[in-house]
């Protein structure tokens, strides 16, 4: 049986009156961490205008010097949030865009720049309106106290703060039952991985472009059961990748531009939702895992600029949706698999293998070379009769080194093993139109490429859709 509007309204009135007695003036308040609820379905509702926009004439607004009362606000949630915002405002030491000038009066939803309101689940917009989202992207605010600000907005669902100068601790989110998106990218955050960022309801976690260091805890891949995107690139994380990496439901994963070591975990084969993953520019080693070939949804796989060695698994020929396979600047060797060259010729695949030590090509690969197809890049290898290869001295030096990675033609999909793969000639089918190659054999496609993970390699906010 649902709660009647009369009972709910009475409860909110009593709650507001209680807050009023506890918070008589803005200078003596203490905000508590209260609030319980379920669900993570809050969206972005009523938004604040730009700093130059006037407040809505129909909304209650008073001079900031007057003492606020519960009746000055549409709900007691906003009454409480008013004090939280005003306390946070005092901690901001730099505001080059002047957005805090709009944080005056009582019209939070219509006047305060960066704040967006909506009622939490179970409440209506008349009596339960609350601050549901805060968007400070690109505001260049400076504060060491953003953590307590976020955790005291207990009805908050989204906090986006890309490109600010926030420092201090990541907020405790255990008292924020609706919270599901945290973007702290491109700030001044340091230290080890913040455990407070591992909040069960999170679908989006963005900590890129800070100076975090040390290991990434396994809980990132086991305790975020609703994760869609995890961006940890451009920090100073180090150590081996967690062995449970593949047990996350994540679709977009960027670990690029860190100091990770060791192999890519074989558990990656369990990451059935994985669409784009970036391992580029670390110090990873070991063999490429065959299990990557099990990822049917995979579109982007970039492990360039590492020390990964061994043959290129034939199982990768099962990746029919793959558009970017970038393994340039590693220590790979052997034959470039014919099944992958067929995907380049007949599919959408861009295959970047430059600056390795491959020694041979199959017939379809040769067809691509003769056609000048730019979606296959095998520059700076050890392949005879192919232009722009390594020197004979470099190839001889590498050939003498011991090889420990096993070779296998096993493929988990039907008809993709080396024994039953036919070559493709120029007359068999028309090749897909060549796209712009990846420059330098590495992946610097950027935001305009349309790939979310490559978009995360710059300092701008990553589109959510």
Q: What are phi and psi of 79, to 5 degrees?
A: -60, -45
d(C-alpha 150, C-alpha 168), whole Å = 12
- Give, in degrees to the nearest 5, the angle at Cα 138 between 59 and 209: 140
Q: What pLDDT does residue 300 have?
A: 97
pTM reported for the whole predicted model: 0.82
Q: What are phi and psi of 325, to 5 degrees?
A: -120, 105
In 3D, which of 465, 464, 375, 459 has the Cα closest to residue 182? Answer: 464
Beta-carbon count within 10 A of 169 CB: 15
d(C-alpha 326, C-alpha 330), whole Å = 10
Q: Reduce the secondary structure of 105-172 to three states and give it as a string.
A: CCCHHHHCCCEEEECCCCCCCCCCCEEEEEECCCCCCEECCHHHHHHHCCCCCEEECCCCEECCCCCC
Identify the sign of the CA torsion 63, 65, 68, 74: positive
What is the DSSP code (8-state) at residue 302?
A: E
- pLDDT in 10s for each residue of the chain, 465 residues: 444 444 444 444 445 544 444 444 433 333 333 333 333 333 333 334 434 333 333 344 444 457 899 999 999 999 999 999 999 999 999 999 999 999 999 999 999 999 999 999 999 888 899 999 999 999 999 999 999 999 999 999 999 999 999 999 999 998 999 999 999 999 999 999 999 999 999 999 999 999 999 999 999 999 999 999 999 999 999 999 999 999 999 999 999 999 999 999 999 999 999 999 999 999 999 999 999 999 999 999 999 999 999 999 999 999 999 999 999 999 999 999 999 999 999 989 999 999 999 999 999 999 999 999 999 999 999 999 999 999 999 999 999 999 999 888 777 885 544 444 443 433 343 443 333 333 333 334 444 457 888 888 887 776 554
d(C-alpha 166, C-alpha 140), whole Å = 9
Q: What pLDDT does residue 409 have?
A: 77
Is the CB of residue 172 less than 8 Å from the CB of residue 195? no
d(C-alpha 316, C-alpha 318), whole Å = 5
Is the CB of residue 405 less than 8 Å from the CB of residue 310? yes
The two tokens of residue 183 are 């973007």
Residue 206: beta bridge partners? 183, 231
d(C-alpha 226, C-alpha 321), whole Å = 23
The two tokens of residue 181 are 């998106």
In 3D, which of 47, 109, 43 has the Cα closest to residue 72? Answer: 109
Is the CB of residue 357 less than 8 Å from the CB of residue 333? yes
d(C-alpha 389, C-alpha 381), whole Å = 5
**Phi-psi map region of 375: left, alpha, beta (phi>0 left; psi -120 to 50 alpha):** alpha
Is the CB of residue 55 less than 8 Å from the CB of residue 111? yes
First to last CA, the chain: 37
Q: What pLDDT does residue 464 have?
A: 54
Q: Reduce the secondary structure of 234-270 to three states and give it as a string.
A: CCEEEEECCCCHHHCCCCEEECCCCEEEECCCHHHHH
Identify the sign of the CA torsion 319, 320, 324, 330: positive
d(C-alpha 402, C-alpha 225), whole Å = 42
Helical ranges in 201-246 per DSSP H = 219-222
d(C-alpha 222, C-alpha 244), whole Å = 7
The β-bridge relationship of strands 130-135 and 115-118 is antiparallel
The two tokens of residue 188 are 């001044």
Q: What is the Cα Rg of the chain in Å? A: 27
d(C-alpha 133, C-alpha 255), whole Å = 27
The two tokens of residue 329 are 């600047």
Beta-carbon count within 10 A of 380 CB: 20
The β-bridge relationship of strands 357-361 and 376-377 is unpaired
Q: What pLDDT does residue 66 have?
A: 72
- Sheet harboring 331-336: ordered strands across? 309-310, 331-336, 357-361
Identify the helix (H) or strand (E) that includes residue 370: helix 363-371
Is the CB of residue 250 less than 8 Å from the CB of residue 228? yes
Residues sharing a CB contact under 8 Å with residue 302, sequence separation 6 or more, in sequence order: 256, 277, 278, 279, 280, 324, 325, 326, 443, 453
């Amino acid at each position: 049986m649902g709660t009647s509007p009369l009972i709910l309204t009475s409860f909110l009135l009593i709650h507001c009156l209680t807050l009023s007695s506890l918070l008589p003036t803005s200078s003596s308040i203490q905000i508590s961490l209260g609030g319980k609820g379920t669900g993570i379905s809050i969206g972005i509702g009523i938004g604040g205008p730009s700093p130059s926009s006037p407040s809505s004439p129909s909304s209650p607004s008073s001079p900031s010097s007057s003492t606020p009362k519960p009746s000055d606000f549409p709900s007691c949630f906003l009454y409480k949030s008013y004090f939280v915002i005003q306390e946070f405002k005092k901690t901001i030491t730099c505001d080059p865009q002047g957005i805090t000038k709009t944080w005056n009066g009582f019209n939070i939803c219509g006047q305060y720049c960066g704040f967006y309101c909506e009622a939490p689940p179970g409440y209506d917009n008349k009596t339960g309106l609350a601050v549901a989202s805060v968007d400070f992207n690109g505001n260049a605010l400076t504060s060491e106290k953003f953590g307590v600000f976020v955790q005291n907005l207990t009805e908050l669902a989204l906090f986006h703060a890309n490109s600010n100068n926030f420092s201090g601790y990541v907020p405790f989110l255990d008292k924020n039952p609706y919270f599901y998106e945290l973007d702290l990218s491109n700030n001044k955050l340091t230290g080890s991985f913040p455990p407070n960022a591992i909040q069960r309801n999170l679908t989006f976690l963005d900590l890129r472009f800070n100076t975090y260091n040390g290991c990434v805890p396994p809980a990132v891949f086991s305790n975020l059961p609703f994760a869609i995107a995890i961006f940890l690139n451009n920090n100073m994380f180090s150590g081996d990748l967690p062995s449970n990496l593949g047990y996350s439901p994540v679709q977009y994963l960027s670990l690029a531009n860190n100091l990770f070591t060791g192999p890519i975990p074989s558990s990656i084969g369990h990451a059935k939702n994985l669409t784009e993953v970036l391992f580029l520019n670390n110090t990873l080693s070991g063999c490429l895992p065959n299990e990557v070939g099990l990822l049917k949804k995979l579109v982007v796989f970039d492990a360039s600029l590492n020390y990964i060695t061994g043959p290129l698994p034939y199982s990768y020929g099962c990746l029919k949706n793959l558009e970017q396979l970038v393994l340039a600047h590693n220590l790979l060797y052997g034959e470039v698999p014919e099944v992958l060259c067929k995907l380049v010729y007949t599919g959408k695949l861009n295959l970047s293998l430059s600056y390795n030590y491959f020694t041979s090509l199959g017939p379809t690969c040769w067809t691509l070379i003769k056609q000048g197809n730019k979606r296959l890049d095998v520059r700076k290898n050890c392949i005879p009769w192919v232009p722009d290869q390594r020197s004979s001295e470099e190839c001889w030096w590498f050939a003498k080194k011991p090889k420990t990675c096993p070779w296998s033609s096993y493929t988990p999909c039907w008809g993709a093993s080396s024994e039953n793969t036919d070559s493709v000639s120029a007359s068999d089918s028309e090749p897909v139109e060549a796209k712009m190659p990846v420059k330098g054999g590495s992946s610097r496609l950027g935001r305009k490429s349309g790939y979310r993970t490559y978009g995360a390699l710059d300092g701008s906010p990553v589109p959510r859709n």
